[in-house]
Amino acid sequence: MSDERAAGAANGDSQWPLWEVFAQPPKGAPHEHVGSVHAATAEQALENARDVYTRRGEAVSLWVVPSQAITASTPDDMGPFFDPGNDKPYRHPQFYKVPRGVKVF
Partner 1 sequence: MAEQPVSKQSAPSDDPARVAEFEARIARGETIEPKDWMPERYRRQLIRMMSQHAHSEVVGMLPEGNWITRAPSLRRKMALLAKVQDEAGHGLYIYCGTETLGVDRHELVRQLLNGTAKYSSIFNYPTLTWADIGCIGWFVDGAAIVNQTMLAHASYGPYARAMVRICKEENFHKRQGYEIMATLARGTPEQRAMAQDAVNRWWWPSLMMFGPSDTDSANSEELMRWGVKKKSNDELRQRFVNLTVAQAKAIDLTLPDPDLAYDEETENWRFGAIDWDEFWRVVKGDGPCNRERLAARNKAHDEGAWVRAAATAYAAKRERATEAA
Cross-strand bridge partners of residue 35: 21
Cα(39)–Cα(66) distance, integer angstroms: 10
Least gap, CB of 22 to partner 1 (angstroms) = 9
Closest to partner 1 by CB, 11 or 94:
11
Q: Which stretch binds partner 1 (CB under 8 A): 7-15, 80-88, 97-105?
A: 7-15
86 near partner 1, judged by CB under 8 A: no
Least gap, CB of 81 to partner 1 (angstroms) = 13
51 near partner 1, judged by CB under 8 A: yes
What is the number of other CB atoms lying within 10 angstroms of the CB of residue 19? Answer: 24
Cross-strand bridge partners of residue 19: 37, 66
33 near partner 1, judged by CB under 8 A: yes
69 contacts 22 by C-beta, under 8 angstroms: no
Least gap, CB of 4 to partner 1 (angstroms) = 10
Cα(35)–Cα(17) distance, integer angstroms: 14
Return phi, psi of residue 37, to 5°: -140, 160
Let me know how long the chain is. Answer: 105
Chain residues in the site for partner 1 (CB under 8 A): 2, 5, 8-9, 12-16, 18, 20, 33-41, 44, 51-53, 55-56, 65, 67-68, 70, 72, 74-75
